[in-house]
A and B are shown apart, each in its own frame.
Chain A
Amino acid sequence: GAVVSQHPSWVICKSGTSVKIECRSLDFQATTMFWYRQFPKQSLMLMATSNEGSKATYEQGVEKDKFLINHASLTLSTLTVTSAHPEDSSFYICRASGPLQETQYFGPGTRLLVL
């Protein structure tokens, strides 16, 4: 089946630094990428939706200047957490979606720890 990868899988950084997370769809064209954040023992919270070549649409309460999303190609989307703080520590998961509802796959997630 289709595979979505994320890199890195783990990242530990100092407060104030920026972290880039990549999400790649390996064998299908992802027309839409979704970025989620998940805190321990909680459900997935949608952060933003991005269509290839367009600006991302952010959910209410998500700072677009802090969480920069780029979806420059049909196989790659990136999420950059700028000036990360300890409260940004979380599990970040991308979901790649094709043109059909059945074509959607989650990445394995990236765990971010900000010290």
Chain B
Amino acid sequence: GESVGLHLPTLSVQEGDNSIINCAYSNSASDYFIWYKQESGKGPQFIIDIRSNMDKRQGQRVTVLLNKTVKHLSLQIAATQPGDSAVYFCAENIQAGTALIFGKGTTLSVSS
């Protein structure tokens, strides 16, 4: 079964707000985590990743936070835009060359 899950299946925000998407994982051996964005009819698009030796990593408008104590991962999107509307998946990986384990996904809807 899936070892990575998401707390909320949907998230609706207003344009300009900050969005926070959460994810819980269960395998303490996972050492690499990725957030993907998937638009309808397309393959997953890499957003940001983080290794287990870090607790925070920032990209352009996005920040990933990792709390290993409670096995929690979150994706923060600053100044959310309508183009950010998509399904967001977290994924965990134990070792290079092995499968990514995906969570169920959170649908982010951004209204103008």
Contact = CB atoms under 8 A, between A and B. Distances in A.
Contacts of B102: 43-44
Find the residue from A46, A99, A100, A106 having the highest chain B CB count within 10 A: A106
Contacts of B82: none
A34 B105 CA distance: 19
A97 B96 contact: yes
A43 B38 CA distance: 10
B103 A102 contact: no
Contact of B41 (A46, A107, A111): A111
A91 B38 CA distance: 12
A108 B89 contact: no
- Which of under 10, 10 to 19, 20 to 34, or 35 or more describes the interface residues of A? 20 to 34
B89 A109 contact: no
Contacts, number: 49
Given A101-B32, A102-B49, A44 B97 contact: no
Interface string A25-69: 000000110100000001110100101000000000000000000
Contacts of B95: 101
Interface in B18-50: 32, 36, 41-46, 49
A43 B104 contact: yes
Nearest to A109: B43
Contact of A31 (B32, B42, B89, B97): B97
22 contacts: A34-B99, A43-B89, A43-B103, A43-B105, A44-B44, A44-B89, A46-B99, A51-B97, A97-B96, A99-B97, A100-B96, A101-B32, A101-B93, A101-B96, A104-B100, A105-B46, A106-B36, A106-B43, A106-B45, A106-B46, A108-B43, A109-B42
Interface of B: 2, 32, 36, 41-46, 49, 89, 93, 95-100, 102-105
